Amino acid sequence: RSAELLARQARRESNARSYPRRLPIAIAEASGSLVRDVDGNVFIDFLAGAGVLSLGHNHPELVAAVTAQLGLLTHGLDFPTPVKDAFTEAQLSMLAPRLQDQMKIHFCGPTGANAVDAAIKLCKTATGRGEIVSFQGGFHGSSHAAMAVTGLVAQKQPVANGVPGVHFFPYSYCARCPLGLSPDRCATNCVEYLERALADGNGGVPLPAAVIMEMVQGEGGIVPARREFVQRVRGLTRDLGIPLVVDEVQTGCGRTGTWYAFEEYGIDPDVIVASKALSGIGAPVAVILYDRKLDTWAPGAHTGTFRGNQLAFAAGVEAIRIIQRDDVLGNVTRRGEQIAERLSALQKHPWVAEVRGRGLMWGVEFADPVDGRPAGSLAADVQARALRRGLIVEVGGREDCVVRLMPPLNVTAEHVETACVILLDAVAAAVR
């Protein structure tokens, strides 16, 4: 049945479809961390809707919240509604107290890319400047502006230059140091490069409207930024009066063990972009949270029909209640440590360049032991073998050489254990 549905889809759907090419299953139903395909095969889902399903598929309390909202109000444009008010309150309450009064929320909609676009537009309006600084390997979405600031070149295809004035700088990707330095010789020169380019009034980069970055590059292959790197970018942007936009679309809402990943880096951004897991159940919604001093938009300056979804609001309020009640962020940390420990044996594997992650965002990077080249075909083989053994994982990074693990945040220790056994097995079978 899966094969039949995949063939029907391939005949009628855009050639740009992506997930079913690598994960050739047709999904019939799902619950928690488990997915059942139309042939009755059950998989542990370590893709979780690309990080969307923070509380797993069909969490019963989220289903109840959405169902109750369905009978009340489903669409509200950008009028105030009680559930929108509750969602706003809940979102702001997750920020540190000093940020709660400092930040405003803007409902963009409904995807991460829409919110990235909004952040760029806001910063251009507020500063009156046009340039944007972004980082190599970053991913920010498929809309024109979000794609323009995406540094993951393979994702851009041939239509990259829709938005002029985007400048890319090296990210602190130490396993593949952009400056070719070994860790013992590194003095975070990648950030120094940016510092010098911005300071160079003669041939450097013009003062930009914003610097946009991920704390952990997700699509880029689960690359957590070095702490010093992030702190220096923050110091630099603050000194020069450049708004720092932190793209938390993938890292946000608890994925890395804190509500937002920037919290672990000891910085405050000027703009936070959030989307994927805001509703916890996959009802689409995207927001930017930004410093009040940037609030220079005239009324109606950034409109849209789907600015906030009442069903997503209802689920999002309930998701935060459950996350706090059940100490889900504690589970993220514990299950993350479990993954780190279970996969630590892979560090010594000749074809594994690095195992790295934060919270419940992990990556295993495969590289040729002789020349260090990204081993994308090996990662694809591991992904396919894992699927046959009952585990759904995604790949990403350079030439898709990183196998990525993104389970629901409330995943059980048993499912993590089984998933790690399957993955280790799949690696052993792939490299013989």
Contact residues toward ligand PMP (CB under 6 A) are 50, 111-113, 116, 139-141, 214, 218-219, 247, 249-250, 275
Smallest separation, CB 110 to ligand PMP (Å): 8
Instruction: Specify the residue, 254 or 422, whose C-beta has the smaller distance to ligand PMP.
Output: 254
Min CB(352)–ligand PMP separation in Å: 24
Nearest to 22 by CA among 389, 312, 382, 307: 382
Q: In the complex with ligand PMP, which residue's Cβ is closer, 37 or 247? A: 247
Min separation Cβ 155 and ligand PMP, Å: 9
As a whole number of Å, the end-to-end CA separation of the chain is 32
Measured from each CB, the residue nearest to ligand PMP is 112
Q: Which is nearer to ligand PMP, 159 or 298 (CB)?
A: 159
Q: Which residue's CB is nearer to ligand PMP, number 290 or number 351? A: 290
Please state, in angstroms and rounded to a whole number, the distance separating the CA atoms of residues 407 and 392.
9
Cβ distance to ligand PMP smaller for residue 218 or 269: 218
Residue number with CB closer to ligand PMP (81 or 256): 256
The token pair at 281 is 């159940």
Measured distance CA(250)–CA(274) in Å, rounded: 8
Tell the smallest beta-carbon distance from residue 83 to ligand PMP (Å): 22
CB 113 to ligand PMP: min, Å: 3
**Smallest gap, in angstroms, from Cβ of residue 186 to ligand PMP?**
25
45 Cβ partners below 8 Å, 6+ apart? 30, 33, 34, 35, 53, 57, 392, 407, 408
Sign for the CA dihedral angle at 281, 285, 291, 292 comes to: negative
- Separation of alpha carbons 395 and 270, rounded Å: 31
Q: How far is the CB of 210 from ligand PMP (least distance, A)?
A: 14
Nearer to ligand PMP, 219 or 270 (CB): 219
Closest separation in Å from C-beta 116 to ligand PMP: 6
* Distant-in-sequence, close-in-space partners of 285: CB < 8 Å, separation ≥ 6: 107, 109, 110, 275, 278, 279, 308, 309, 312, 313, 316
Q: Which is nearer to ligand PMP, 221 or 336 (CB)?
A: 221
Dihedral sign (CA 74, 79, 80, 85): positive
- Round to whole Å and give the CA distance between 128 and 144: 20
Q: Pairing mode, if any, of strands 286-291 and 103-108?
A: antiparallel
Minimum Å gap between C-beta 112 and ligand PMP is: 2
In the complex, minimum distance from the CB of residue 302 to ligand PMP, in angstroms, rounded to a whole number: 16
Provide the minimum distance between the beta carbon of 33 and ligand PMP in the complex, in angstroms, as a whole number.
Answer: 20
Distances from the Cα of 184 to the Cα of 178, 179, 180, 417, angstroms: 15, 13, 12, 35
Write the DSSP assignment of 376-424 as a string of letters.
HHHHHHHHHHHHHTTEE-EEESGGG-EEEE---TT--HHHHHHHHHHHH
Calculate the alpha carbon distances from 185 to 180, 181, 182, 372 in Å: 10, 6, 5, 19
How many whole angstroms separate alpha carbon 348 and alpha carbon 121?
46
Supply the DSSP symbol for 16: T
CB-nearer residue toward ligand PMP: 32 or 112: 112
For 304, the 3-state DSSP assignment is coil
Nearer to ligand PMP, 218 or 374 (CB): 218
Which is closer to ligand PMP, CB of 251 or CB of 310? 251
Q: How big is the chain by its Cα radius of gyration, in Å? A: 21
Residue 31, helix vs strand vs coil: strand
